[in-house]
Amino acid sequence: MPLPPLALTMGEPAGIGAEIAAGAWAALRATGPAFVLLGDATRIAAVPVARVTAPEDAAAAFPAALPVLHRPLPAPVTPGRPDPANAPAVIAAIEEAVALAKAGRVAGVVTNPIQKATLYAAGFRHPGHTEYLGALAGTPGRPPVMMLACPELRVVPVTGHEPLARAIARLTPALIVAHALVTAEALRRDFGIAAPRLAVAGLNPHAGEDGTLGTEDRDIVAPAVAELRARGIEARGPLPPDTMFTPLARPTYDAAICLYHDQALIPIKTLDMAGGVNVTLGLSIVRTSPDHGTALDIAGQGRADPSSLIAALRMAAAIARHRSLSS
């Protein structure tokens, strides 16, 4: 049985979301996966548009035009200049897409980048997409977990968008274990990996050198790895962060559990800046996103690269297929 289409949210209207949506449709129209855009249809100018009234109509329209569930914006859009007046429409598109996914009317949600500062100015109270999606479609008792993935590497940051000193102060064995457990389950359910292998990064140079370069690896990371092993998960670490992302090391694990934002994002963006995908693990629905921001500096110039969005759409469809086969 074919999967329903994916739902693509508009993202920040003043950013590159409309441009990369059009580019993704042009690249995928013949092969799929099919998707429907939740946004203002008048902002799509480069490709044919089909205004549909329901996501169920998207698959038939997709080969000839980009299907759009037309959701007019309340304020005019100037590329590169976000307007808080449009923030409620951005949030509403996310909520609608999640509701459609929870109802089984779309196979998953792919979110275009948002401009968090603009949403904050309009009263948004969540740190970002991941936390908001956790509130809308999370699994009770478990944190939503951000994974960045490309063909050569998957990374999971245990701490996220916060000052490094605060992130280190928050690290505990329990926090590492919680993220690793969600990751291992997702690797099985969403990526079809029967026995996931996790590599857990150290915090300090050389993973602390037995405490001579800091005790966090000995006192926080090593106990987390021991608990994961006790739970039957193949986990190794703490591993020296300067060698665990080399070409020889990467094939030895299925995901790297990293301790802070840049430790995870620097290697994957170095390997595949254009094709990286943001995946939210631990949700009741499938959700992916391009691994880049709103690119306000080039919005409206026709220069935006849709590669990461194309990869996000393909990955969402692949995850949805894995879930349908395992259910």
The answer on whether 102 is annotated among ligand-binding residues is no
Q: How many domains does the chain have?
A: 2
Q: Which domain holds residue 233?
A: 140-282
pLDDT digits (tens, 9 = 90+) for 255-269: 999 999 999 999 999
pLDDT at 120: 84
Residue 26 sits in a domain whose CATH number is: 3.40.718.10
pLDDT at 153: 97
Q: Which residues pair with 281 in a beta bridge?
A: 145
Is there a single domain that holds both residue 97 and residue 177? no
Closest to 39 measured CA to CA, from 78, 97, 80: 97
pLDDT at 116: 83
pLDDT at 143: 81
The answer on whether 261 is annotated among ligand-binding residues is yes
- Angstrom distance (rounded) from CA 224 to CA 217: 10
The answer on whether 129 is annotated among ligand-binding residues is yes
CA–CA distances in Å: residue 253 to residues 41, 139, 158, 190? 43, 26, 17, 16
169 CB burial (10 A radius; 0-12, 13-18, 19+): exposed
Tell me which of 261, 282, 303 is where a domain ends.
282
Is there a single domain that holds both residue 130 and residue 167? no
197 CB burial (10 A radius; 0-12, 13-18, 19+): middle
Average pLDDT over residues 302-307: 92
- Angstrom distance (rounded) from CA 78 to CA 151: 36
The answer on whether 206 is annotated among ligand-binding residues is yes
pLDDT digits (tens, 9 = 90+) for 102-160: 999 999 999 999 888 888 887 777 777 788 888 888 777 778 899 999 999 999 999 98
Is there a single domain that holds both residue 129 and residue 34? yes
Is there a single domain that holds both residue 274 and residue 155? yes
Is there a single domain that holds both residue 294 and residue 321? yes
- Do the Cβ atoms of 156 and 255 come closer than 8 Å? yes
In the chain, DSSP assigns E strands to 6-9, 35-39, 49-51, 66-70, 109-110, 145-150, 153-157, 197-201, 234-239, 255-258, 277-281, 287-290
